[in-house]
């Protein structure tokens, strides 16, 4: 072993000094670099883990919100369709009611018109009868060339009205 030590020029004092040097450098690096770096990395890992958990929670919340949104939209569409159908039914019922009212009004107007025409017809017939009687009286008066008194005139008018 002596030959190896002399061949490689190994000095025990230097080896021990280097071992102490290595220990001091290792301790300083461990305390000031490796330990804070390890702590920083574990904090970062925890932060990343929380971020992933939050992302999963947000994804679930987003999916839940999307489903609620779709449900609300579906319900709103259904309700809007129902309101539209109800309004349509009400409009059709109101239209039918208005048409019925208009028909009734037209029927009333026609009936009133018929009654008025009938009354006018009766009135015109009576006036025509009176005119014919008066004309007949005048013609008779001219034929007879004498004046007939008022009582005869009234009697003749009554007789002719009864015809």
Specify whether the CB–CB gap between 156 and 133 falls below 8 A.
yes
Say which residues have a Cβ less than 8 Å from residue 52's Cβ, sequence separation at least 6.
Answer: none
DSSP reduced 3-state for 10: coil
For residues 146 and 153, what is the distance between their CA atoms, to the nearest angstrom?
13
pLDDT digits (tens, 9 = 90+) for 70-98: 999 999 999 999 999 999 999 999 999 99
Cα separations in angstroms, 45 against 31, 48, 53, 57, 149: 20, 5, 12, 18, 140
* Residue 132 pLDDT level (bands cut at 50, 70, 90): confident
Residue carrying structure tokens 């330990």: 35
**Residue with more model confidence, 91 or 129:** 91
For residues 5 and 160, what is the distance between their CA atoms, to the nearest angstrom?
176
| DSSP conformational letter for 147 | P
pLDDT digits (tens, 9 = 90+) for 2-59: 777 677 777 778 889 999 999 999 999 989 988 889 999 999 999 999 999 999 999 9
End-to-end CA distance of the chain: 176
Q: Which two tokens stand for residue 36?
A: 């804070």
């Amino acid at each position: 072993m002596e030959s190896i030590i002399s061949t490689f020029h190994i000095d025990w004092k230097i080896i021990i000094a280097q071992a102490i040097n290595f220990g001091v450098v290792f301790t300083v690096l461990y305390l000031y670099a490796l330990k804070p770096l390890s702590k920083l990395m574990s904090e970062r890992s925890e932060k990343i883990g929380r971020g992933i958990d939050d992302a999963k929670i947000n994804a679930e919340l987003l999916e839940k919100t999307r489903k609620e949104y779709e449900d609300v939209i579906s319900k709103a569409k259904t309700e809007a369709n129902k309101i539209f159908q109800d309004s349509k039914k009400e409009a059709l019922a109101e239209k039918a009611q208005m048409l019925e009212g208009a028909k009734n009004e037209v029927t009333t107007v026609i009936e009133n018109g018929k009654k008025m025409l009938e009354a006018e017809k009766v009135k015109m017939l009576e006036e025509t009868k009176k005119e014919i009687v008066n004309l007949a009286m005048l013609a008779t008066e001219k034929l007879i060339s004498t004046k007939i008194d008022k009582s005869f005139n009234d009697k003749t008018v009554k007789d002719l009205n009864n015809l």
